[in-house]
Structure 1
Amino acid sequence: MTRQGTDTQTTIGRVTTGMRVVDATGTEVGTVDLVQRGDPNAVTVEAPTADPGSSLDELIESVAAEEPDVPADLAARLLRSGYLKIVGSDGATYALAEQIAAVSDRQVRLTVPAADLAREE
């Protein structure tokens, strides 16, 4: 794992459920509902060759856990990187571990605006 990757995993390791999350503009996004540390060895799912009619999204849904509930390519990226599931008044969103700018005792600050976060499907 690279130095930056190690720093990212250390940062996400300081996040706990229930923490308040604000975006890069200082706007409250919601609270942390789930923290998932990254797994750089997470398996990427490839569409099966035996059934070319199956979509990658259908394959992910059949073999993966319920989280993260996003398209397959993004789910693989979130699992490798690590992520936060954030629940707010507009529903749930996901932030990649590298989108965390800082973690204090009660708050997580992101490097991106809320509009750039992945929305739960």
Structure 2
Amino acid sequence: MRQQGDQQTISRITTGMPVIDADGVEIGTVDLVQRGDPNAVTVQAPTADPGSSLDELIESTAVEEPGVPADLAARLLHGGYLKVSGGLADLGAVYVPADWIATVADGRVRLDVPAADLPAEE
């Protein structure tokens, strides 16, 4: 079962590991590792009214991960993902679905896809 294999692979990844795309280019380092949750199928939209207390205001402006459109976010949350930043400055932060990870070896994460195919953070 591929998803179980993806979860075993992603469990071996830690923040700070370099990420190499399918073309052999280092695209950055892992900022966030999120294991998949098969029950995560939707992303909650922020409320229109942040409330009146300072705590409610802070909570309403907190960054939700992953920072991508809702349909892609649901896929990432369901299957697991990495957030990668640094390296290729023009890309900014990008997300790597767990099923796009080819291998984890020698302290590096290698992908099945080129960097240009990775969804960027909004």
TM-score normalized by the length of structure 2: 0.80
Q: Does 1:60 align with 2:45?
A: yes
Aligned counterpart, 2:105: 104
Report the Cα distance in structure 2 between the residues aligned to 1:73 and 1:84, rounded to whole angstroms: 17
Aligned counterpart, 1:13: 11
Report the Cα distance in structure 1 between the residues aligned to 2:76 and 2:13, rounded to whole angstroms: 16
Q: Which is worse superposed, 86-95 or 14-23? A: 86-95
- Using the aligned pairs only, state the percent identity: 64
Aligned counterpart, 1:118: 119
SS in structure 2 of the partner of residue 34 of structure 1: strand
Report the Cα distance in structure 2 between the residues aligned to 1:16 and 1:103, rounded to whole angstroms: 10
| Stretches of 4+ aligned residues off by more than 2 angstroms | 59-65
Report the Cα distance in structure 2 between the residues aligned to 1:23 and 1:80, rounded to whole angstroms: 22
Report the Cα distance in structure 2 between the residues aligned to 1:8 and 1:100, rounded to whole angstroms: 8
Aligned counterpart, 2:68: 70
Report the Cα distance in structure 2 between the residues aligned to 1:24 and 1:60, rounded to whole angstroms: 34
Report the Cα distance in structure 1 between the residues aligned to 2:101 and 2:80, rounded to whole angstroms: 11
Report the Cα distance in structure 2 between the residues aligned to 1:27 and 1:15, rounded to whole angstroms: 18
Report the Cα distance in structure 2 between the residues aligned to 1:111 and 1:85, rounded to whole angstroms: 16
Aligned counterpart, 1:52: none
Deviation at 1:61, TM superposition (A): 3.9
Cα distance per residue 1:6-26 (max 9 Å; x no partner)? 111000000000000010000
SS in structure 2 of the partner of residue 60 of structure 1: coil
Matched residue pairs, number? 106
Q: 2:37 aligns with which of 36, 39, 43?
A: 39
Report the Cα distance in structure 2 between the residues aligned to 1:68 and 1:97, rounded to whole angstroms: 13
Deviation at 1:65, TM superposition (A): 6.0
TM-score normalized by the length of structure 1: 0.81
